[in-house]
Amino acid sequence: MAEPFITENANAAFEHFQPIVAGHSTDVPTLNVDADIVRFNTVKIAAALEPHWARISSEMPKFPVNEIKELPTLALALVVATDRIVTPASKKEITARQKRMRPLRRITLTQLEIFAALGLVDRDVVAQIRTGSGPLDQAKDGVSIPAVYRQAGAKIEGKHPFTAAQLKQLEDDGNWLLQQLRPMGSVRDDVQRSPEAILRDQLWAEMNRRFDEAYKAGVVIWGRREVDARLPMLGSRQATTTKPDGDVVDSDDPADPIGPIG
């Protein structure tokens, strides 16, 4: 029988499980618990089942032992996948960027209109930038305006007060806002998940499938009445552990030593 894939290297865990779940259905539930708590609990689950593998294999010949042994490593991959998702900016952050960008957008565009009147830049291009309104259009202007300054080059060099740093800031703010703002009528972010979020949720679905198998083994070992006290739910903040004498004690501290992250 092949050996289970077990590692404490975070990137190695992610690289191993990413292709395994990538082909799975994307119609999976969104992760709604702390990935670090999940990892903590999977270590508890694996430790609780470890002394019983021989019995499990004997009474459940088709039981996927390796899949359950891999649960902590799969959870480590889940932690990495979660960390790779870019968190959308808050409304406060977006407003601050807009507030910083608008004055510079206004005066740099006004300067371009003067240049257009003098024939130094393309009049139609500048007129197109001026058309439209609203936050998304202004963000696009923040990208387009510095591009016109660059294209004009020597024809306007020394004829305006804006530094390269100011034009870069305008462009950076415009690009950033384009990534954050959503067109009217578009699908909400919490419905249209990014590829990174889908991968995270595919890993989460795989974890739940394997936990269901672990739970079945727990019922065989301890019985239906005791299994919940022995195996913590994946997202539970109150994990359980067992003393050597068999007494069950509770621990709600996910900071217990469970090995290095990577």
Question: What's the 3-state SS for 105-172?
Answer: HHHHHHHHHHHHHCCCCCHHHHHHHHCCCCHHHHHHHHHHHHHHHHHHHHHCCCCCCCCHHHHHHHHH
Residue of 39, 40, 42, 69 whose CA lies nearest to 251: 40
**207, 211, 192, 82 alpha-carbon torsion, rounded to 10°:** -40
Question: For 117-149, how does the pLDDT look when each residue is reduced to its tens digit (9 = 90+)?
Answer: 999 999 999 999 999 888 999 999 999 999 999
Residue spans per domain, the chain: 10-87+193-251, 91-180
Question: For 63-72, how does the pLDDT look when each residue is reduced to its tens digit (9 = 90+)?
Answer: 999 999 999 9
For residue 14, the tally of other CB atoms under 10 A from its CB is 22
Q: pLDDT grade, residue 88 (50/70/90)?
A: confident
Q: pLDDT grade, residue 205 (50/70/90)?
A: very high
Question: Euclidean distance between the first and final Cα of the chain, in Å?
Answer: 27
CA atoms within 13 A on the CB side of 108: 26
Q: pLDDT grade, residue 2 (50/70/90)?
A: confident
Q: Is the pLDDT of residue 262 over 70?
A: no
pTM, to two decimals: 0.59
Q: pLDDT grade, residue 183 (50/70/90)?
A: low
Q: Is the pLDDT of residue 73 over 80?
A: yes
Give the C-alpha separation, 219 to 234, whole Å: 16
